[in-house]
Amino acid sequence: MVLSFLNTLLSYPLLIYIVIIFLSTCTACAPKITLSRGQEPYVQSPQLTAHPEAYYHFLNAQKCMSEQNVNCALREFERAISFDPTSSYLHLQVCQVYALQGNGDTAIEWCEKAVELNPSDYNARTMLARIYSALDRSNDAISQYESLIALYPDNEEPYLSLALIYSAQKEYRKAIKLLNRLLRQGVRSENVFILFGNIYAEMHKNRKAEAFYHKALAINELSLPAREGLLLLYENDNNIALAISLCHEILASEPDNIKIREKLASLYLKSIDLAEARNQYVIIRSSKPYLWYETTIKIGLICFEQHSWDCAVEEFTNALNKNPGDDRAAYYLGSALEKVEHYEEAIHYFTKIPVSSWYFSHAQINRAFILDTLGQHDEAQRIVEEARSLKKTDPDLCRFLASVYEKKGKYHEAIAVLKDALSEQANDEDLLFYLGVLYDKATLFHESIEVMKKIIEHNSNHADALNFIGYSWADRGMHLDEAEKFIKKALKLKPNDGYIVDSLGWVYFKKKKLQKALLELEKAIKLVPQDPTISEHLGDVYAAVGNVSKALEYYRKALELEPSKKEILDKINALTTP
């Protein structure tokens, strides 16, 4: 009875797993090459055994294996070996059983014995090399494959396996040299060209990789590994349209290929074609029930991104019915309900999210925002304060609570909250900038400037901090030259920011450069036409150059935008009173 190694290998799932582990070392993303039954090389297996007792126990061992009784099989194989101790084939069977048990070291001992008994046993050396590879004994695996190549120079498989090891070690030149030996021997197989493509892709030589994948496709136009290789190249080249087209080609011949359909959906997401991405996930969900929950969440998120709130509500409701404890689904369902102004239901779902959840802080902020919108300001404040008592330094909670205090004019309380957040995130630019703004509102000018300077120390190109300092100095008529430098640098970083343009106009005004001031402020008002401060600044400059009608025009516009500002009314009265 003669059994080929690969037929035996395919009978044992763990042995297949060992080979998969080995093959996957080439690259995390590259398509894999494997030998199918139709492609496997023919290598004559050694004679099983001529001893009748050995053959009897061998058959018993096979029966034990068919019954998945591994210990029984080991006993019977070892009894067979006791009658025929020189059979490399029987030793190989024991090696395979130990590999099936996950006992790699013992499997190696038996395979090594099989090779010792018959150094030309192709199957024993191949099995030994693969187990070495699975156990990260690459040098030992290399030695076995080199021996196989010497013994069987016309056999493609050991060349490919050895090239895979070299590729995993990033010894690309060695791998390519080995594959070129096959080409010189006239081997022009799909697997050889795919492996060439994988190696060149790992080397970031994408055009060479592409050429080899096309050579593989010339042999087999439906080669999935070759098309997967091309797909990866197109995606890495950011050629999303070509990648999408290739996905559709693959799905035309393999409509049930979930991996490719999921890739297609992700490519549509990259191209911001949310409708098509959603369609692909709907197909996946309908064809693969075991992926129902995962795809339902993805569809819900896409609906949310599309602002299709009813769809999002439906999908996340379905998800929560399936898994009531999913905090992510609860958060997005609450958020979608908030968008359609179903506030009580939204609050219900936000309340369900536990403090351990990543979504907890945002859920409580949304909850408080709803209450604030409904005029329940004190309750909104209480909710955030309660949440912050559980997460004292959470930056989002601190920022929101600070904004609540700011609205109520409680600047010192807001400052204290931000300082808590900064105790753990001392260089958070957003928190620091907000702190500087609050210091300014609390009339703590020196402190506000120091905070902004700290931001610039860490990020010299922080345009808003540069502008804040420059404008603050200019408004107080101090350090005007330095203020101008700060503002001009900010403007280079944000050339179309109307507020920074206003700052430049204002520093020119303070330096008595009135025409320059007018030029910049007219630009600013076009960029931000509804800002009361810019309108007031224009009124001041026009008043300074004696254009009373224009000054009054802009003062009145400023007062319309900010009716409570008495200073603007005083300026109007000063110009209109005889």
How far apart CA 198 and CA 179 sit, in angstroms, is 12
pLDDT (tens digit per residue) in 107-159:
999 999 999 999 999 999 999 999 999 999 999 999 999 999 999 999 999 99
For residue 67, report the phi and psi dihedrals to the nearest 5 degrees. Answer: -95, 5
Whether the CB-CB separation of 546 and 523 falls below 8 Å is answered with: no
Length of the chain: 578
Contacts for 530-537 with beta carbons within 8 Å, 24 or more apart? Answer: 530/561, 531/498, 531/499, 531/502, 531/561, 532/557, 532/558, 532/559, 532/561, 532/562, 532/565, 532/568, 533/502, 533/558, 534/498, 534/499, 534/502, 535/561, 536/568, 536/571, 537/502, 537/505, 537/506, 537/509
Of 88-92, 167-171, 423-427, 514-518, the one with minimum mean pLDDT is 423-427
pLDDT at 360: 96
Residue 136: count of CB within 10 angstroms of its CB: 11
What type of residue is 35?
Answer: L
What tokens does 541 get? 């400059």
Of 252-256, 425-429, 453-457, 543-547, the one with minimum mean pLDDT is 425-429
pLDDT-based confidence at residue 49 (cuts at 50, 70, 90) = low
How far apart CA 256 and CA 249 sit, in angstroms, is 13
pLDDT at 16: 32
pLDDT (tens digit per residue) in 300-317:
999 999 999 999 999 999
Whether the CB-CB separation of 372 and 401 falls below 8 Å is answered with: no
pLDDT above 70 covers a percentage of the chain that reads 91
Mean pLDDT, rounded, of the chain = 90
- pLDDT at position 20 over 90: no
Q: Which secondary-structure segment (H or E) carries 508?
A: helix 498-510
Strands (E) in 410-498, as ranges, are none
Q: Which secondary-structure segment (H or E) carries 10?
A: helix 5-11
- Name residues whose C-beta falls within 8 Å of residue 492's C-beta, 6 or more positions apart in sequence: none
What tokens does 245 get? 């087209």
How far apart CA 524 and CA 497 sit, in angstroms, is 8
Nearest to 540 by CA among 566, 499, 565, 574: 574
pLDDT (tens digit per residue) in 388-405:
999 988 999 999 999 999
pLDDT (tens digit per residue) in 156-196:
999 999 999 999 999 999 999 999 999 999 999 999 999 99
What tokens does 359 get? 């979504």
- pLDDT at position 12 over 60: no
CA distances from 133 to 11, 130, 380, 475 (A): 20, 5, 61, 72
Q: What is the pTM of this model?
A: 0.71
How far apart CA 108 and CA 392 sit, in angstroms, is 57
pLDDT at 402: 94
pLDDT at 51: 83
Q: Which secondary-structure segment (H or E) carries 401?
A: helix 395-407
Residue 253's Cβ-count burial label (10 Å; 0-12, 13-18, 19+) is exposed
pLDDT-based confidence at residue 424 (cuts at 50, 70, 90) = confident
Q: Which secondary-structure segment (H or E) carries 148?
A: helix 138-151
**Segment 490-515 mean pLDDT:** 97
Burial letters 168-196, b for 16+ CB under 10 A, else e? beeebebbbebbeebeeeebebbbbbbbb
- pLDDT at position 252 over 80: yes
